[in-house]
């Protein structure tokens, strides 16, 4: 082969290789239940989105619907790839589709609901709730409805308190309803309450905790059944490697109200299934 022919072949090879389409960036659809104001979650989550994009190599399509049920519908109908669910919404989703639990915060292995009232309220225990107005969060919330109502029934609270309770739609809304004396008492997520007190959204001059439930498993990140296992693993490892000692990681952990992540297991949610079945909430 002469030199001119060799150069022509090399040029043709380079030209053809340059025209080959570049591999497209995968898309990962991530959604979260609106445990607090969905607009605020969406606005504040950019550091999380940026981190997940770096770690997974995917373009993150992030959504926070206005209801817990919408996220369950999305993950069970393959409309999102990975979802952040409460324990109860995970139980609902797993009864309808083969969603896979991935990771959860360490706190979610030993979670509690806090029952709150005003500091000057006569309510000191669950038995004192009779005749008082009460607020839950979302009907599909684990710590804002399912487990509080379960323990209220276990303690033989007047059924009228549960039947006539209002649903605020979110833990922060429940705290504000109590603080502003719209209701006499309510039940909510312990970490949301802690954060609201820390940031001054409510204060101890407005609310008082009068009962804390026994521990239960709660929030968990899950993947839809058909998601590429390699992508699910990348997502899991991204959260598992977060270290609060690293400032950038701590920013992400703080957004998620987390200290550290651990692997989640399907078998840990049997108590929630029992509670949901007893309450007629699981089909």
Helices (H), 200-262: 229-240, 247-255
Q: What is the mean pLDDT of the chain?
A: 92
- Between 3.40.190.10, 3.20.20.70, 3.30.70.120, 3.40.47.10, what CATH number should domain 27-109+218-278 receive? 3.40.190.10
pLDDT digits 0-9 by tens, 13-52: 544 445 454 557 899 999 999 988 999 999 999 999 999 9
Q: What share of the chain in percent tops pLDDT 70?
A: 92
| pLDDT tens sequence across 245-260 | 999 999 999 999 999 9
> CA–CA separation, 38 vs 34, rounded Å?
5
pLDDT higher than 50, residue 231: yes
Residues in the chain: 283
CATH of domain 113-212: 3.40.190.10
**DSSP-derived secondary structure letter, 214:** P
Nearest-angstrom CA–CA distance, 134 and 117:
9
pLDDT the model gives residue 281:
80
Q: Quick one: pLDDT at residue 77? A: 95
Token output for 173? 């809304």
Burial (0-12, 13-18, 19+ Cβ within 10 Å), 10? exposed
CA-based torsion, 146, 137, 39, 78: positive or negative: positive
Give residue limits of the domains in the chain: 27-109+218-278, 113-212
Q: How far apart are CA 166 and CA 71, in angstroms?
A: 22
pLDDT at 267: 92
């Amino acid at each position: 082969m002469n030199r001119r022919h060799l150069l022509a072949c090399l040029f043709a090879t380079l030209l053809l290789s340059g025209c080959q389409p570049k591999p497209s960036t995968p898309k990962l659809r991530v959604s979260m239940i609106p445990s607090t104001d969905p607009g605020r979650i969406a606005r504040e989550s950019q550091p999380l989105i940026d981190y997940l994009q770096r770690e997974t190599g995917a373009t993150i399509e992030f959504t926070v619907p206005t209801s817990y049920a919408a996220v369950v519908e999305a993950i069970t109908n393959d409309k999102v790839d990975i979802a952040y669910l409460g324990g109860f919404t995970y139980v609902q989703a797993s009864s309808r589709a083969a969603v896979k639990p991935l990771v959860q915060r360490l706190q979610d292995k030993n979670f509690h609901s806090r029952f709150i009232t005003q500091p000057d309220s006569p309510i000191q225990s669950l038995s004192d709730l009779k005749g008082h107005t009460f607020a839950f969060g979302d009907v599909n919330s684990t710590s804002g409805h399912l487990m509080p109502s379960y323990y209220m029934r276990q303690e033989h609270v007047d059924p009228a308190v549960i039947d006539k309770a209002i649903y605020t739609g979110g833990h922060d809304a429940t705290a504000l309803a109590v603080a502003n004396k719209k209701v006499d008492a309510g039940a909510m997520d312990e970490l949301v309450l802690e954060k609201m007190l820390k940031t001054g959204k409510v204060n101890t001059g407005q609310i008082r905790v009068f009962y804390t439930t026994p521990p239960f498993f709660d929030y968990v990140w899950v993947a839809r059944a058909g998601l590429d296992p390699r992508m699910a693993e990348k997502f899991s490892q991204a959260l598992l490697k977060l270290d609060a000692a690293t400032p950038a990681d701590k920013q992400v952990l703080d957004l998620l109200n987390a200290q550290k992540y651990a692997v989640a297991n399907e078998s840990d949610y049997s108590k929630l299934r029992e509670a949901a079945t007893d309450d007629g909430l699981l089909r």
